Every structure is written in C-alpha cells, then in structure tokens.
Structure 1
Amino acid sequence: MTQHAVDSAPAPAGCPSAPRDWWRDAVIYQVYVRSFADSDGDGVGDLPGVRERLPYLAGLGVDAVWLTPFYASPQADGGYDVSDYRAVDPRLGQLADAEALVREAHRLGLRVILDIVPNHTSDQHPWFRAALAGDEAARARYHFRDGRGERGERGERGELPPNDWESVFGGPAWTRTAGGQWYLHLFAPEQPDLDWENPEVHAEFDSVLRFWLDLGVDGFRIDVAHGMVKAAGLPDIGHGEQARMVGAQELPFFDQDGVHEIHRSWRRLLESYGPDRIGVAEAWAPNAARLALYVRADELHQAFNFQFLRAGWDAGELREVIDESMEATTSVGAPTTWVLSNHDVVRHRTRLGSLSRARAAALLMLALPGSVYLYQGEELGLPEVGELPDAVRQDPAFFRRTTGENAGQEGLRDGCRVPLPWETRGPSYGFGPAGSWLPQPAAWRDLSVQAQTGDPLSTLEMYRSALRLRRELPGLGDSAMEWLEAPEGVLALSRPGMVCVVNTRDSAVAMTLPGALLLSSAPDVPESPHVPANSCTWWAA
C-alpha cells in the first residue's frame, strides 16, 4: 500500500469570507464566457448571461467560477488577444456588468477568478500600434528583431525569420513588419509576445492586477504562465513540430527559470490584498517536478495538472500520474490541482472513448486530494463536436494548421467551445433568445440542463451528488490518501471515511467491496461483489 499524507487545511469555503486556504480543496468551474449564456440575442455569450446563470453554479455545488477573458479585444483568438485590459469588450457587456457579476457571485457564496493574459497583447493594443508606428519605447516592450539571410538575387537581407521558432498555432512564430524587422508571436500573428525583461511591462501588469483586485475579484488564472520569459539570445531549436496545446516539450520559449521571479512578485501583490486572493498557473511543464516549481510557498497557489489530463484510461497509467503529481506538489507544500477538460482540448467524454469512462474519470478526479477544475458542460456529459462546418470556425489554429501530425484537434478547438444547451427547446436550447455563434447538435437537447435535472441517472445529477458528498464528507478534499490492493485494471484508494474504486476494464471485476454504496458512475447499482465495467464507485468506510 502507498500512502500520501497531505497537509490538512480548513474546511472547504462556503462563502467568500471563509478561511484563508479555501483554494486547497476548492472545486472551480470554468466559464467560457462566449459560450455560456447569451442575454441579448446576438448569439454570443456575455457577462449579464453569466450573472443570470450563477444560481445554477451555486446549486451545482462549486466553490468558485473562473471566467475566460472578457476584455476589449478584436477576438482574433476568442478574447486571448487583449487590446485593453481594463475594459470589457462591448460585445460581452460593460464594466458595470463585471462589477455586478462579482457582487452576485459573492452573494451566492462563489468566488470569482479572472483570466489574465500577460504573455502577449493584441496587435491592436495601443502599445503595439505605437511600436509599428516607430515608437522605440513601445518597440522595446515586445520582441522585435532583424531577420536573417543575405542579400541575394531573389531576395533582400533579413528576409528570413530571426530563428526557427514555430507558433503553437502552426507556421513561423515571426511576422515581418513593413519596416523590415520581425516580431515574435508564439500564438497568432495578432498576438505579439511581450518582452518581460522590460520593467515597463512589469509595472503595467501590476497596475492591471490591482485594478481588478480593487473591483473585488478573488484571483487570476495566468494564461501561458510558463511562457513569459524566453531563453537569452532566442536560440534556434533545430527541428520542427515544436509546440502544441497542452504540450510537455523542453523549449527555449517555455518553462524558463526566469518566470518564477515574476510569479513571486505577483504572489506578494496578491497577499497585499489579504490571504485569500490566489494565482493559478496555466503552465505546460515537461514533468510533475518542474510543474511543482510554480506552486512553491512564495509563488502561485495552484497550477493546472495537464499530466493527469493527458493520461489514458488505464489503471497503471492513472496511478503513476497521480503518484507523481502528488509527490511533486506535496514536496513543496502545495495541493495538487486536477482537471480533465478545458477550452483548449478535446472534451474528455470523446477523448476517453465513452460517456461511461468520462463519468468514472470525473468521480475519480473528485475523490482525489486537492483542488478540482470543471469545464462548463462536462457535468452534462457533452461530447466534442467534430463536424462543424469550416465556414463557422473561428479558432486561429484551424486556419494555420490543417495538415501534419498536429492536424485534427490542434486545429479544431472550436469543437469544445460550442455553446451550452440549457433547455430542450428553442433556437439555441436556452443559450439565448436567438441562435448561437457555433451550431449546437440537435442531440444536445437531450443533454440540456432541463432534460437532465431530476433524472437520478443523469450525468448532471451524478455531478451534483458528488459535489454534495465532497462537502459533506470531511475526509474529501485536502487530506490523506492511501492506495489499497485491487485486481489488475482496478484502482482502489482510501480517503478518511470513504473508499473509491475505479474499474478501467471493459468487463465487471469481482472484488470485496467495503461498506455501503455512496455513489456510482454506472447506472446499474452493484448488488454483488462485482465492480461494473468502466466505472467508479464511492463506498462508505
């Protein structure tokens, strides 16, 4: 048996005034604002729509809401290209709507985490527009470089990019300006990378964080937290197929040691507002040990565990990832943060191959020590939408990478961003009074909140039950975990007061089961000493 001892912490927060370490075992729900709820009928989700649906999230049983970017943006990458960090995009609402949302969330006992995008701005940001106009101070805030290549018969000096770096979205990570120099963009050309060696960049983002903290938000999810510092000299990599969404490659533009001093300074800023404001790293690291560096005691509070997200439906692989993740974070006194889906990856129902596996994976995740992130719609069992017409796609990766190893999902992130179905009828199944910016499959009416509410066998009610039990059982959350002996293909883990059993096999497995059944991901309740195929069960202990 293997036992993991995790530092105990106060009980899960029931309201924003709860004890300081609420984040150690919180369940945080990701809202992709454009696809959550549309209040004005333009087909795009907005802040008033989110605020109207907050009671649903409070009733679901989550502790906090993470909102994807709603700042002023040309929307070249779904709002992750920001032109004004202190303004709300008029298509998504007004600043007063953001304030009202935070107030209502707090009234309902929910905390609010905002997405901050510090690696790059929009090419329409005033800084970058000034840089293109020749302002040297503005240019120094980005990575402008001369190109390579000698003057030749068919070209001019500097016609080649400064190095061989590739964009995560495909193609070169450099775009040449009318003046002849090139600028760096690890994502779309409309997203020029900031140079964090420049103190003006630090000062500006300190100001931006304070602006939203003063408005009352409870923390920030830091987009590309691993990419803000580049290796000195911007060295060549020497090969292609370099970076992918949720990757773990060692690259000179990701996971450089210099990012940690930025995060330390942000931790100090957050703590100046009190002990309960948090920073969450979206960090792609080569391994769990490197990821743990982002959550040392003087850095950020949480980091997404993409190793768990990437694990296959295999008992041995899952156990190895869980062990490595917990050993790494426990070594620095941090909680582990678990996630199965988000706005950048194929929904885990599709990725794991079936709804039964997706339901089982969710119960396993919710039984593990630490904090959990849920992506909107996973509680409905939504699958990836893989048949969207090209004409409606908006993901910039789709237009830059359509062939090769990283085709498919890497160019088709729109499939996990299709707006939610709330009702069984209507032009957008309750998403809004009109249609939706991405078409919803007709089958989604049967997966809507309305269709599943009250059905004890539905995925929504399973999530509601799991979150209720997670609050009621004091042993769940941030406390000890112990592996128990189990047959091949089965994981069994003990938490104080509960045993979780996961069968990853396609057939039922006989084993001795403890106590009374608390919850099962399988529709058929086990009545004999058999664990159903592709299931997760919780038992009283």
Structure 2
Amino acid sequence: MTETLQSVFDLLEPLYQGHPAWPVERDRIAAAVSAAAEARSPTLRALDADRAAHPAWFGAPEMVGYSFYVDRFAGTLAGLRQRLPWLEALGIRLLHPLPMTLGQSEHSDGGFAVADYRAIEPALGSLDDVRALAADLHDRGMALAMDCVLNHTARDHPWAQAALAGDREMRGYYRIFDAADDVAAWERDLDEVFPDTAPGNFTHEPALGGWVWTSFYPFQWDLDWSNPAVFREMLDVLLFWSNIGVDAFRLDSAPYLWKRRGSVSRNLPETHRLVAALRAGLDIAAPGVALLAEAIERTADVLPYIEPQDGTRAAQLAYHNGVMAALWVALATGDAAIVGDLVRDTVLIRPDTAWLTYLRCHDDIIWSALNGRVPADALDRISDFYTGAGGFGDGRRFQARPGAAASTVGMLASLVGTEGPEALGRYRLLLATMLALPGMPMLYMGDEIGLPNHVDPAAPDDARWLHRPPMDWLRADGAEEGEGAGAAWLALTKWLLAVRATLPAFDAKAATKVHGEVPGLLVVSRGSGGDTVVLIANFGAVPQVFPFEGRWQDAIEDRPIERVVAPGTVLWATRCV
C-alpha cells in the first residue's frame, strides 16, 4: 500500500508541495484511499481481478454503451431496472445514465450543477437503488457508468453556501477575486463556453465581496484545484461511488481544472497530472474502475488525457469527438478523407486505453474540434447545412466560442432527414461506420428508434433540450413488434450490434490500418489474419470499384460482395477462404 500511495504523491507533490495544507491533506488522502480499499466488497474485488486480466475490458466487441437521462428514459431508477431486458436485447452492455446526483434546486444545467456528490435526486430514487442497479447489471455481465462533475459545484452546494456565509476554509475551495481589475486581467485570455446565454467567466457575488469563477453558468462555481483539499474531496467521491458498484466515471469538464494566469486555462499539463493522480488513487482501491475523459477539444489536446507522452497512466477512455464531427462532415460533403486521416493519426498504443466513439450525445456537435483540419469557412457552411440550408438536416445552430463555427443541436434522426428510406440509409452509413472504427461505441437514447427533435415549452432556455426528449415507449414497443415509424431503425440497430459482437476484429485494441485515397471512400482494416474485417464506406455521390482482389463476403448481409460499391453503401468485408 505504501509504494502504491507513493505513486499518487509523486504526481501531486509538484502541484502542492508549496501549499500550507499539503502535509495534512497528504495524510487525509492516504487515509481515504486506505479506507476505501479496506471497505471494497469481495464481489467488486473479484471484478477488479477479472478486469486486470483484460485491461481494456470496455473495448470488447460486444461492449456497447447507451447514454440517457433516467427520468426521460424510465422515470426512476426502479423503472430503469425494469427496462434492463429491453436494453440487453438491444445489445447494450454498458449504461451511462446522465447526472443522477442531487442538482441545483432550480435550473441545474441538465444535472451538471451538483448540490451533493453523494446523494441521488429524490425523484429518481436513492443510493440503495443505485446499488441494486449496479448489482443487476453485474449479474447480466453489464456495467454502469456515472458522471463526476469535476470542475464546478452548484451554488446550492454546502461548500458554496458555507463560503457565502463567510467560512474561510470553504472560500478556499473556489476561485474568488476581490478586485475587478484582477478579474479583467484573467478574462483577457479566456474563451467563453456560453457566449450567448452566460457570457464571461466570472460572476459577482456581493456576499463574497467579489467575483467567483464560473466557466459555465453563474450558478456553477469553479472549484480551485490548486487547493489539495479539493483533490482529496473529489477522489473521495470517486472512491465512494466505486464501492457502491459504479464501473466507470465520465470526468465532466476535465480540461478546465487547473487555471494559470496568461493562458486559456484549459488542457494545462497540471490538469493532465490531476487526472493521472485520480487514476493512481483508484488503482489502489478500485483498479477495475475506468475513467472516461470528457474533453471536447481538438484531437491533439485530447490525447494527453489517455496517453500522456511521459507514459503516465491516466484516463482509459476519451470521447473521440474529432471522429464524430468528421463523420458528420463526410455525410454533408461526400468526402471521407478527414475521417481516415483522424483514425490514422489517433491509433492508441497502451493496452488499457480506447476511444469512446459516438454519433450523438446530450450535448451539441462542436465543429471547432476540427479546427486546423477543416477551414473555418467550411465548418461554418457545414453548420448551416445541418439546419436545412441546402441540406437534409433539421438541426439548429447553437452558440460557440468567438470565431468558431456555431455548433449544431438536434436528434440524429432529424439531422439525417427524419424519416423515409434515405434517412434510414444515412443512419446505416453512419452507424455501421462508427461501429467498425476503433473504440467503444456509445449510442444515445432514442436514436435506435429514430426519435426526431423534441420541442418542450417547459424546457430551460437552452437549445440542447431539442435533443433531450422523453423516450417514446409506444414507438419503442411498436418497433419491437416490427410496427410503426421506429421499426426499421430498431431492426437495423439490433442487427448491426449483434453482428459486431461476433467479430473479434472490432475489439478496440485490434490492429487498425487506413487504406487508399479514393475521394468519398473510407477503407479501414481491423484485426489480423483470418479475423480481419475491412470497413468500406462510400460517402460519395458516385459508385466506386471495390478496392481489393479476390472473393469477399459482407459480414453485415452475409452475402458475397459485388465489384461496385454504390453511393451510401457500407460493408464489413471479410475475405473468402
């Protein structure tokens, strides 16, 4: 234990050695990790041991995730447990319910303004319901992911309330500034996350006698990670939920943790070190638990969260938002070259890491992830395209940082054309391509039945609620019976997931090679030897010649492949023996 704890302190010492509270906090961190390790149940210890033998367990071909809001999907955690057979039959093996923890009393930014890290929203259930859900999932060979909002708490959080009441220790948990000139000096180097609805990065709080740092909304107070007490508190939160039975944590807003005057205060080396230190703490008490970095940045800025150049073990997963955005670019332009370039440039080396691949999520499509790869004017045209300006999409433009293309909101079905064979064909092209690329795929609630945009007059003033609908169980149940508008979408989704689960080549750690430079045609081989599968996807408007000699079979349709690949066609090609 002493040697492993030293690995945590080796990471933290350069950050905190000059802080007066460090000697005390160092002891508290050691005590928290030791207590969590001692309290871990035999069942979870056995799961840790199994995953130690398969360090990229989340990247197995059958491991497909599903992201959703509990209340909108099933009402409560008890209701969610009743829906597990439906999810299991769909082919889902990892559930990611979006924030379940107690949120801000009014607008909570979709649950990302946390008022209590250790309590569940009462309307959803209780801690015992989470324990029961985790146990149910483990019995089914499934896993549970959970959000941990690292950068900020709600203004309602007891730490913030104590700070407002004058508690000096709790003031030290946040970044609070007394002088307007100081705030202005910091602000000059910072971007704005929500320039339209929450401009600026600081909020004046008279009770504090100054300004508190608020990168997102005014009711989300940024934590001061230069205080070692904040690190200790957040590691303890991860340890707490790990012992409840959570298998993976989505580290929300990870790039924002460390602030440095004169910088944009995102993706700093100190932030990467903090993520690595959280990982090192979990490695002692809950080594089978994975970390997923939510860093919606350029790919070069995401890589240090999962494969730091110094070889440090950090997060095991990160959103491949670059490939996600590139797939939508390919669909809009007919040119798949950017997808191939990104896949070629982001092959991961470590045996315990993988990309999280996806098409849609609860957030917007942020085109700035492709800055430097796609010209800014082209990204702006693509943003317009998905609002129906000359294209088939029915999305909406959303706010973006100054100088960046406006991001896009909308459900997947609405972005590909809502309904009809052409929309379904675009879904097939995107989904089958994404499922074949290296990583762990994550589906978003409702996409599997083609749910369109949802306009909710009662939703907060945030356009992202357009793609946060309640699950339409009448549509889903009808689709399960082969009836209604969602039937073809569900049948296609289930079929592709079922075939994928049988193909070892689609393991996240299987060999990957990008082939060819044919415009519009994406060709990526996965696996090796007799297990090799070649993804061939024609995003272009003209037929292409099948790029390999010999006889080939399509694993999706289980039939021989013809020599011409029609526009919109996607194949999982295997060589006939």
TM-score (norm. length: structure 1): 0.76
Deviation by residue 1:421-455 (Cα, 9 ceiling, x = unmatched): 122xxxxxxxxxxxxxxxxxxxxx3xx35325547
In 2, Cα distance between equivalents of 1:290 and 1:530 = 39
Amino acid at match of 1:298: R
Deviation by residue 1:198-254 (Cα, 9 ceiling, x = unmatched): 1111111122111111111112110011111111x3x4xxxxxxxxxxxxxxx6121
Residues 27/527 of structure 1: CA separation in 2 closer, same or farther (3 Å cut)? closer
Amino acid at match of 1:376: M
In 2, Cα distance between equivalents of 1:35 and 1:473 = 33
- Structure 1 position 512, deviation (Å): 6.2
- Structure 1 position 511, deviation (Å): 3.2
- Alignment check: 8 A CA contact 2:513 2:525 kept: yes
Any gaps of 5 or more consecutive residues in structure 1? 1-14, 39-45, 150-157, 236-250, 399-410, 424-444
Alignment of 1:149-298 (within 5 A): 163-164=187-188, 165=190, 167-170=192-195, 171-179=199-207, 180-231=209-260, 233=261, 235=262, 252-286=264-298, 288-296=299-307, 297-298=312-313
Match of 1:531 among 556, 559, 565: 565
Residues 67/208 of structure 1: CA separation in 2 closer, same or farther (3 Å cut)? same
In 2, Cα distance between equivalents of 1:200 and 1:256 = 20
- Alignment check: 8 A CA contact 1:146 1:162 kept: no
Residues 420/508 of structure 1: CA separation in 2 closer, same or farther (3 Å cut)? farther
Residues 378/159 of structure 1: CA separation in 2 closer, same or farther (3 Å cut)? closer
Equivalent residue number for residue 125 of structure 2: 93
Choose 334-343 or 210-219, whichever is displaced more: 334-343
Q: Secondary structure at the match of 2:83?
A: helix
Alignment of 1:386-465 (within 5 A): 388=455, 391-394=457-460, 398=461, 411-423=462-474, 445=475, 448-454=476-482, 458-465=488-495
Residues 508/49 of structure 1: CA separation in 2 closer, same or farther (3 Å cut)? farther
- Structure 1 position 520, deviation (Å): 5.7
Q: Secondary structure at the match of 2:288?
A: coil
Deviation by residue 1:511-533 (Cα, 9 ceiling, x = unmatched): 36752232269xxx998533232
- Alignment check: 8 A CA contact 2:416 2:426 kept: yes
Equivalent residue number for residue 178 of structure 2: 146
- Alignment check: 8 A CA contact 1:393 1:414 kept: yes
In 2, Cα distance between equivalents of 1:481 and 1:415 = 36
- Alignment check: 8 A CA contact 2:546 2:562 kept: no
- Alignment check: 8 A CA contact 2:108 2:114 kept: no
Q: Secondary structure at the match of 1:253?
A: coil
Residues 302/453 of structure 1: CA separation in 2 closer, same or farther (3 Å cut)? farther
In 1, Cα distance between equivalents of 2:350 and 2:122 = 45
Q: Establish whether residue 112 from structure 1 lines up as the match of residue 112 from structure 2.
A: no
Equivalent residue number for residue 343 of structure 2: 322
In 1, Cα distance between equivalents of 2:114 and 2:183 = 29
Deviation by residue 1:104-137 (Cα, 9 ceiling, x = unmatched): 1111111111110110001000010111111111
Deviation by residue 1:151-192 (Cα, 9 ceiling, x = unmatched): xxxxxxx99796344541231221111244011111111111
Equivalent residue number for residue 68 of structure 2: 31
Equivalent residue number for residue 103 of structure 1: 135
- Structure 1 position 366, deviation (Å): 0.8
In 2, Cα distance between equivalents of 1:291 and 1:413 = 23
Any gaps of 5 or more consecutive residues in structure 2? 1-46, 365-408, 418-422
Q: Secondary structure at the match of 1:258?
A: helix
- Structure 1 position 88, deviation (Å): 0.7
Equivalent residue number for residue 299 of structure 1: 314
- Alignment check: 8 A CA contact 1:20 1:275 kept: no
- Alignment check: 8 A CA contact 1:144 1:181 kept: yes
Q: Secondary structure at the match of 1:115?
A: strand
Equivalent residue number for residue 337 of structure 1: 356
In 1, Cα distance between equivalents of 2:112 and 2:487 = 37
- Alignment check: 8 A CA contact 1:453 1:461 kept: no
Amino acid at match of 1:230: K
Amino acid at match of 1:168: V
Percent identity, aligned pairs only? 30
- Alignment check: 8 A CA contact 2:521 2:536 kept: yes
- Alignment check: 8 A CA contact 1:503 1:509 kept: yes
TM-score (norm. length: structure 2): 0.72
- Alignment check: 8 A CA contact 1:255 1:284 kept: no
Q: Secondary structure at the match of 1:361?
A: helix
Equivalent residue number for residue 6 of structure 2: none
Equivalent residue number for residue 504 of structure 1: 539
- Alignment check: 8 A CA contact 1:349 1:383 kept: yes
Q: Secondary structure at the match of 1:323?
A: helix
- Alignment check: 8 A CA contact 1:452 1:459 kept: no
Amino acid at match of 1:379: E
Count residues in correspondence: 448
Please, what is the CA RMSD of the aligned residues? 2.8
Residues 510/381 of structure 1: CA separation in 2 closer, same or farther (3 Å cut)? farther
- Structure 1 position 534, deviation (Å): 1.9
Deviation by residue 1:348-386 (Cα, 9 ceiling, x = unmatched): 44445644223211111111223222222222233444x
Amino acid at match of 2:214: H
Amino acid at match of 2:571: T
Amino acid at match of 1:33: V
In 2, Cα distance between equivalents of 1:520 and 1:196 = 52
Q: Secondary structure at the match of 1:458?
A: helix
Equivalent residue number for residue 242 of structure 1: none
Amino acid at match of 1:97: D
- Alignment check: 8 A CA contact 2:73 2:445 kept: yes
Residues 264/368 of structure 1: CA separation in 2 closer, same or farther (3 Å cut)? same
Residues 519/177 of structure 1: CA separation in 2 closer, same or farther (3 Å cut)? same
- Alignment check: 8 A CA contact 1:308 1:340 kept: no
Q: Secondary structure at the match of 2:303?
A: helix
Match of 1:365 among 417, 431, 434: 434
In 2, Cα distance between equivalents of 1:108 and 1:121 = 34
In 2, Cα distance between equivalents of 1:501 and 1:216 = 39
- Alignment check: 8 A CA contact 1:148 1:162 kept: no
Equivalent residue number for residue 540 of structure 1: 574
Equivalent residue number for residue 356 of structure 1: 425
- Structure 1 position 82, deviation (Å): 0.7
Match of 1:490 among 514, 518, 521: 521
In 2, Cα distance between equivalents of 1:460 and 1:86 = 36
Amino acid at match of 1:480: A
In 2, Cα distance between equivalents of 1:23 and 1:123 = 35
- Alignment check: 8 A CA contact 1:161 1:182 kept: no
Amino acid at match of 1:498: V
Deviation by residue 1:19-59 (Cα, 9 ceiling, x = unmatched): 43202343222122232112xxxxxxx21222111122222
Residues 358/140 of structure 1: CA separation in 2 closer, same or farther (3 Å cut)? same
- Alignment check: 8 A CA contact 2:101 2:118 kept: yes
In 2, Cα distance between equivalents of 1:520 and 1:486 = 26
Equivalent residue number for residue 469 of structure 1: 499
Equivalent residue number for residue 21 of structure 2: none
- Alignment check: 8 A CA contact 1:292 1:332 kept: no
Question: Structure 1 or 2: larger helix share?
Answer: 2
In 2, Cα distance between equivalents of 1:331 and 1:104 = 31
Equivalent residue number for residue 404 of structure 2: none
Equivalent residue number for residue 376 of structure 1: 445
In 2, Cα distance between equivalents of 1:310 and 1:483 = 18
- Alignment check: 8 A CA contact 1:520 1:536 kept: no
